[in-house]
Amino acid sequence: MKPNHSSALGVLVLAAGKGERMQSETPKVLHPLAGRPIIYHVLRAVSSLKLSSLAIVVGHEAPAVRLKVQEFVQDSHWIKTPAFFTQKEQLGTGHAVFSGASFLKKHSAVLIVCGDTPLLTYDSLSSVVRFHQTENNAVTLLTARLSNPQNYGRILRSSSGEVLRIVEESEAGDGEKAITEVNSGVYCFSTGLLLKALKEVKPKGPHREYYLTDAVDWVRSHGGKVAALLSPNAEEILGINSRLHLSIAERILNRRTLERFMLVGVTVVDPAATYADSSVEIGAETVLYPGVILKGATRIGKNARIGPYTFIDDSQVGNSAEVRFSCLTSCRVGDAALVGPFAHLRNGAVIGPQARVGNFSEVKKSTLGKGAKVSHLSYIGDAQIGDNVNIGAGVITCNFDGVNKHPTVIEADAFIGSNVNLVAPVRIGKGALVGAGSTITEDVPEEKLALARALQVIKDKKTAGGSKKVAERLRR
Ligand code: UD1
Ligand code: MG
- Between 6 and 213, the more confident residue is 213
Distance CA 28, CA 91 (A): 16
Distance CA 413, CA 408 (A): 15
- Which of the following CATH numbers is that of domain 9-237: 3.30.450.20, 3.40.390.10, 3.40.1440.10, 3.90.550.10? 3.90.550.10
Mean pLDDT to the nearest integer, 419-428: 98
pLDDT band at 432 (very low <50, low <70, confident <90, very high): very high
- Say whether pLDDT at 355 is over 50: yes
Inter-CA distances, 320 with 275, 287, 337, Å = 21, 10, 8
Q: Where exactly are the structural domains of the chain?
A: 9-237, 258-450
CATH fold for domain 258-450: UDP N-Acetylglucosamine Acyltransferase; domain 1 (2.160.10)
Residue nearest to atom 30 of ligand 1 (CA): 115
**154 close to 182: Cβ distance less than 8 angstroms:** yes
- Say whether pLDDT at 4 is over 50: no
Interval 39-86: pLDDT, tens: 999 999 999 999 889 999 999 999 999 999 999 999 898 887 899 999
What pLDDT does 38 receive?
Answer: 98
Query: Which range (77-81, 206-210, 399-403) has the least confidence?
Result: 77-81
For residue 434, the surrounding DSSP H or E stretch is strand 433-434
Q: Which atom of ligand 1 is nearest to the CA of 27?
A: 26
∠ at Cα 279 (67, 313), nearest 5°? 95
Closest CA to 36 of 112, 153, 115: 115
Distance CA 437, CA 224 (A): 86
Whole-number average pLDDT of the chain: 95
**Roughly what angle, to the nearest 10 degrees, separates helices 38-47 and 62-76?**
40
Query: Which range (2-6, 125-129, 186-190, 288-292) has the least confidence?
Result: 2-6
Mean pLDDT to the nearest integer, 155-170: 95
Interval 436-455: pLDDT, tens: 999 999 999 999 999 999 98
| Residue 376 annotated in active site | yes
Residue nearest to atom 36 of ligand 1 (CA): 93
Ranges assigned E (strand) in 81-211: 83-86, 109-114, 139-145, 154-157, 163-167, 181-190
Interval 271-322: pLDDT, tens: 999 999 999 999 999 999 999 999 999 999 999 999 999 999 999 999 999 9
Inter-CA distances, 411 with 230, 333, 372, 384, 432, Å = 66, 20, 11, 8, 8
Cβ–ligand 1 contact at 236 (below 6 Å): no
What pLDDT does 424 receive?
Answer: 97
Distance CA 49, CA 121 (A): 10
Helix count (H) and strand count (E) of the chain? 10, 41
Cβ–ligand 1 contact at 143 (below 6 Å): no
Q: Which ligand lies nearest to the CA atom of residue 86 in the structure?
A: 1
The one catalytic residue in 60, 77, 132, 376 is 376
What pLDDT does 2 receive?
Answer: 46
308 cis-preceded (ω within 30 degrees of 0) = yes
Cβ–ligand 1 contact at 45 (below 6 Å): no
- Say whether pLDDT at 7 is over 70: no
